[in-house]
Amino acid sequence: MPAVIYKQTSNIFQDILLPLSERSVLSENIPVFFYRFIGVDGNDKNSINEYYNKIFLLDRKLTQLQYGYLKFTDHIPNPLFNEINSIKQRLDNINNIESIRLATLIKNNKYPYEEHLNQKFLELINLYKTYKKNINISALKNFSLKIAYWTNRYIDQLFYKEPFEVPKIIFYGEINVHEIFFLIFISMLGCDVLFIHSQIEKDTFKSIKCSDKYTTLIQNSKSRPLHEFPKSERIVRKATVAYNASEEIQKIIYDNDSGLYKPWQFAKYLTQPITLKTTYDELMILWNKEAKLRPEFRVDTNKVYVPNLFAKINGVPQDISTYWDTFRKLLEASNVYLIDHVPFTKVTYTRRDLCTTVFLINEDGTLDRNKIINSDIYKYSYLKSSLQDFILSKIEELITSDIFVLPMDRMFQAKILNTVLSMDEKILKLLEQFDFPQSIPKIIIYDNSKEIFNDDDIIIISFLYLSGIDIIIFTPTSYNNIEVRMKSDLFDVHQLPSVAYELPMPDLKEPVRKRKSILSLLFN
């Protein structure tokens, strides 16, 4: 028989289909492929679907070939006692394992090169002895018996083509040592072999160093649990050349540290507020600046650090018209929500609801998200998934924070969950429009009464603060309100020179008429 040589390729899924006549090699040799295809190219759904499609399509093409093809997807069935009895009787009479002639142990077969069969069987025995040092004659006979039986069962299914053509074997999934040596033996006889597993750590060949002479490893970058052998082709999406080029350019241009960001680039990130401590004048200057233009803005792994503003303005200036001018300018910013009364949160849950939902929160403050999403209190399923994740993560952060003056007991945790999941739609829309590096949504609260924020108000304000929203509270009376329930070191307090009681808010759409001075009144 011509010599079997192990051929290399850059595309095993394509070249394994080549007939012998198209494999560029000298006529006295038979080139075969023996490859291990380990791991997958990527973790995304499309990459995984392409991986299984590649296997499915290869299997379909091999099945259509007019010569031998075997596929093993759940080990090679072990020999049964009644099937191997005759072979075993012959082996029992042999004391020198090197004298075994495989051709005499198996039935009449169609393999055309009997002497080659015997030689390669003895070569395999010696290879196994190299791997299994100090093996006794009994264990070696058991190994020989299994190889002889498998050969007896499969050789005619593989080598029946005349003139000779290279048959194929795909072995898919976990493999044991004896199966590896059988694949090596079959490849020695002139058969292509492809071993496939998506988990890198399941490449058992690595534990058998002597197998390196016969196999070539293709190891992909990712390791994934193996699915069953594909029975149908999966749906995949293919990127165009222009799309791929655009993606590569965007990776360079819109790098986290570049300062250039495409719309919603960080939609799946969380925010970390870096509340700026400012003067009163700086507050007015920074109010309209985008997050990326403010000091301390940065992007790190899965997190955007947002320099937000959180201030309480107590009192009024002596000229009340400048007070409303300032108020109006702040209100003219984009994405602003005005709250003109306190308390402002409508409570829609009952104490019974609190007692029910407290079991949706784990002892460590984390949420049982699956139960929450499937519960009656959850109304946010229509939101994009990234925003839903953001809201639930911020609720967890709020529950485990040190923001509140009130003690964080189980009932207060349940109140946080219920309050945030029933917040006013206008406030929710602030978050829907929050593209983190860009314009920061804003809350302006006007409190001109003796009323203070209730628990639900403080929960909403704290939730928005942790989200990175800008918040200003105008209190012309200088009374306490937010300090009663929220720790005062979290926000700036700017004290203006005068106070005003029961100061009504004017129609801010109309320009404020400035008070005339005494001199101007006299001259007029």
pLDDT at 100: 64
133 contact partners, CB below 8 Å, separation of at least 6:
none
| 176-199 pLDDT, tens digit each | 999 999 999 999 999 999 999 999
Q: Please check the confidence at residue 36 and state whether its pLDDT lies above 50.
A: yes
pLDDT at 278: 95
Average pLDDT, the chain: 87
Alpha helices by DSSP H, 421-513: 425-432, 455-467
Q: Please check the confidence at residue 3 and state whether its pLDDT lies above 90.
A: no
pLDDT at 213: 92
pLDDT at 437: 95
CB atoms within 10 A of CB 13: 16
| 275-306 pLDDT, tens digit each | 999 999 999 999 999 999 999 999 988 999 99
| 359-414 pLDDT, tens digit each | 999 999 999 999 999 999 999 999 999 999 999 999 999 999 999 998 899 999 99
| 346-358 pLDDT, tens digit each | 888 888 889 999 9
Q: Quote the CA–CA distance of 495 and 31 in Å, as a whole number.
A: 88
Residue showing tokens 């402002």: 344
Q: Quote the CA–CA distance of 342 and 290 in Å, as a whole number.
A: 29
Q: Could you tell me if 178 and 151 are in contact, meaning their C-beta atoms sit under 8 angstroms apart?
A: no
Name the pTM for this structure.
0.60
Q: Please check the confidence at residue 518 and state whether its pLDDT lies above 70.
A: no
Residue 485 CA to chain centroid, in angstroms? 38
pLDDT at 115: 80
| pLDDT class of 53 with cuts at 50, 70, 90 | very high
For the ranges 157-161, 270-274, 518-522, which has the lowest average pLDDT?
A: 518-522
- CATH of the domain spanning 269-345+436-524: 3.40.50
Q: Which pairing describes strands 3-6 and 29-32: parallel, antiparallel, or unpaired?
A: parallel
Q: Quote the CA–CA distance of 180 and 208 in Å, as a whole number.
A: 9
Q: Which residues pair with 88 in a beta bridge?
A: none
| pLDDT class of 89 with cuts at 50, 70, 90 | low
pLDDT at 524: 43
Q: Quote the CA–CA distance of 499 and 477 in Å, as a whole number.
A: 5
pLDDT at 67: 80
pLDDT at 250: 58
pLDDT at 107: 64
Q: Could you tell me if 166 and 160 are in contact, meaning their C-beta atoms sit under 8 angstroms apart?
A: no
Alpha helices by DSSP H, 112-196: 114-131, 137-158, 177-188
- What is the percent of the chain with per-residue pLDDT over 90, rounded to a whole number? 64
Provide the residue type at 193 as one letter.
Answer: V
59 contact partners, CB below 8 Å, separation of at least 6:
71, 170, 229, 230
Q: Quote the CA–CA distance of 40 and 59 in Å, as a whole number.
A: 18
pLDDT at 146: 87
Report the sign of the C-alpha dihedral through residues 198, 201, 207, 212, in that order.
positive
| 316-333 pLDDT, tens digit each | 999 999 999 999 999 999
For the ranges 65-69, 99-103, 341-345, which has the lowest average pLDDT?
A: 99-103
Better pLDDT: 518 or 510:
510
Q: Which helix (H) or strand (E) holds 493?
A: strand 492-495
| 418-466 pLDDT, tens digit each | 999 999 999 999 999 999 999 999 999 999 999 889 999 999 999 999 9
Better pLDDT: 303 or 118:
303
Boundaries of every domain in the chain? 3-219, 269-345+436-524, 347-422
Closest C-alpha to 347, from 421, 254, 241: 421
- What is the percent of the chain with per-residue pLDDT over 70, rounded to a whole number? 86
Q: Please check the confidence at residue 502 and state whether its pLDDT lies above 70.
A: yes
| pLDDT class of 255 with cuts at 50, 70, 90 | low
User: Quick one: average pLDDT of 107-113?
Assistant: 67
Q: Could you tell me if 215 and 194 are in contact, meaning their C-beta atoms sit under 8 angstroms apart?
A: no
| 201-224 pLDDT, tens digit each | 999 999 999 889 999 999 999 999
Q: Could you tell me if 450 and 479 are in contact, meaning their C-beta atoms sit under 8 angstroms apart?
A: yes
